[in-house]
């Protein structure tokens, strides 16, 4: 069993109620049409470098993050 990581130095980024339409299900009757899936994600990350430098390139890109989530689904 793995230990819980120490996240005390991390910042929390949340994406809430991201709605994605996708084909999902076990049975054929479920997979014959797109269904809405609601996604909620909590990302723990260290944003110290971005905050100190005020450099947008070091910040979390929410658009890219959300796009990757949608592509994965």
Q: b/e map of 50-64 (b: 16 or more CB within 10 Å)?
A: beeeeeeeeeeeeee
Is a pLDDT exceeding 80 seen at residue 2? no
CATH architecture of 11-72: 2-Layer Sandwich (3.30)
31 within 8 A of 48, measured Cβ to Cβ: no
pLDDT bucket at 44, cuts 50 / 70 / 90: very high
In the predicted model, what is the mean pLDDT of residues 11-22? 95
In the predicted model, what is the mean pLDDT of residues 40-59? 90
Give residue limits of the domains in the chain: 11-72
Q: In the prediction, which pLDDT does 54 show?
A: 87
């Amino acid at each position: 069993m793995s230990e819980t990581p120490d996240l005390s130095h991390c910042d929390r980024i949340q994406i809430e109620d991201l709605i994605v339409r996708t084909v999902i299900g076990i049975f054929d009757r479920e997979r014959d049409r797109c269904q809405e899936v609601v996604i909620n994600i909590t990302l723990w990350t260290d944003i110290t470098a971005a905050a100190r430098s005020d450099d947008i390139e070091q910040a979390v890109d929410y658009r890219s993050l959300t796009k990757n989530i949608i592509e994965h689904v």
